[in-house]
Amino acid sequence: MNASRPKNRSIVNDQAEINDEVKRVSARSFYSPLSSMVKRRLFVGAKVNSNVAQVGRTIPLVEESVVESWESMPKDWPKIKFDSELVKDLKDAFQLYADSEGHDIKHVLDCGCGTGNPSIGLAKSGYSVFAVDRDASMLQTFQRNCGEAGVSVDTLLCDWRFLPQVLKSRSPFDAAICRGNSLIYAGTWENPSCSPSEARAAIEESLLSIAQMLRVGGLLYVDIMPSSEFNNSEVQVASLGVRRTNQHLIFMYWVIEHDTTRMIRRVQVRRVFESRISSLPECIKTHSYTGYLLTHIELNAIAKRCALLPIYKSIVMPSESTYQVYCFSRV
């Protein structure tokens, strides 16, 4: 790897550019148009999966594991609000539901818990949480994060579709959450080449199974990307901010492509490590995943077939700037 930095690109110039970029991405829209700087960093620098020239130097593109990519978020990504704010909003939503329906929420099933957001925060707030994921590496990191947070949460390695069989003797839950646009990955998370009809069937089967884990009157919280994003067939880039270490500037992006013909959403997480000192190694770490482009109309129609009725058409979660939230009640 050639990590030498052209002499005319000073940290001071970078700093001005970074300030501009941070200002721009802090503006209202989550997705920003591609500035020439972002294009250069994300596409010119890493167009093919091999070492490519970027502004006079070579930065390798390194595939990272899903768990490494995911774990970088709570710690590194300035524009993703983890745990405390999300947990507060969820507690408010649970309370609103309890007040209107007269049922307290104590036992929560997290479907697609990842490495612990927001399950660990809910457990710290006193909820009894049971966390399910189909990815063993996520659950391993989840348990390590529980240890660090000083809470104990039961986890289960299981595909959502098999929950009723695996948990058949367990009492039903008061609430289930499927957070982080996770539902659209049913079927495709482990098999990105799954066909749109298979993916859609997996989503329906998953939602039915999750609904069966709820008591009558139980609450399902599920979020999904906003409808304004659907028809955008151009590549969209969300800049999640910049982090500074002694050695690197780390730029964080989601690069999102929607194929509305095949109903596919492809997300590439990219962390660009630019050296602050000329001799340090640089790289772009990347991880991709693919989901079904589930529309809001489809989500509501599927939910209805699964005996889930909408309770608030859509609720606004101040901490949830990325997705639109739906809440359903099990009938």
Ligand X SMILES: C[S@@+](CC[C@H](N)C(=O)[O-])C[C@H]1O[C@@H](n2cnc3c(N)ncnc32)[C@H](O)[C@@H]1O
Binding residues for ligand X, per CB under 6 A?
112-114, 117, 132-135, 138, 159-160, 179-182, 185-186, 189, 206
Shortest spacing between CB 220 and ligand X, in angstroms: 14
Query: Is 41 or 107 the residue whose CB approaches ligand X more closely?
Result: 107
Query: Is 60 or 114 the residue whose CB approaches ligand X more closely?
Result: 114
> H or E stretch including 157?
strand 154-157
Query: Is 38 or 184 the residue whose CB approaches ligand X more closely?
Result: 184
User: In this structure, are residues 285 and 295 in contact, taking their beta carbons and an 8 Å threshold?
Assistant: no
Shortest spacing between CB 323 and ligand X, in angstroms: 9
Shortest spacing between CB 148 and ligand X, in angstroms: 16
Expressed in angstroms, the distance from the first to the final Cα of the chain is: 59
Shortest spacing between CB 255 and ligand X, in angstroms: 16
Distances (CA, A) of 116 to 103, 128, 139, 148, 151: 26, 14, 8, 11, 11
Q: How buried is 79 (Cβ within 10 angstroms: 0-12 exposed, 13-18 middle, 19+ buried)?
A: middle
Place of tokens 């800049």: 239
User: In this structure, are residues 255 and 42 in contact, taking their beta carbons and an 8 Å threshold?
Assistant: yes
Query: Is 57 or 134 the residue whose CB approaches ligand X more closely?
Result: 134
User: What is the C-alpha to C-alpha distance for residues 131 and 119, in angstroms, rounded to an integer?
Assistant: 7
Query: Is 181 or 275 the residue whose CB approaches ligand X more closely?
Result: 181
> H or E stretch including 73?
helix 66-76
User: In this structure, are residues 132 and 116 in contact, taking their beta carbons and an 8 Å threshold?
Assistant: no
Distances (CA, A) of 220 to 14, 284, 329: 45, 37, 6
Query: Is 161 or 285 the residue whose CB approaches ligand X more closely?
Result: 161
Shortest spacing between CB 254 and ligand X, in angstroms: 11
Shortest spacing between CB 192 and ligand X, in angstroms: 12
Place of tokens 């997996």: 202
Shortest spacing between CB 114 and ligand X, in angstroms: 3
Query: Is 133 or 282 the residue whose CB approaches ligand X more closely?
Result: 133
User: In this structure, are residues 237 and 32 in contact, taking their beta carbons and an 8 Å threshold?
Assistant: yes
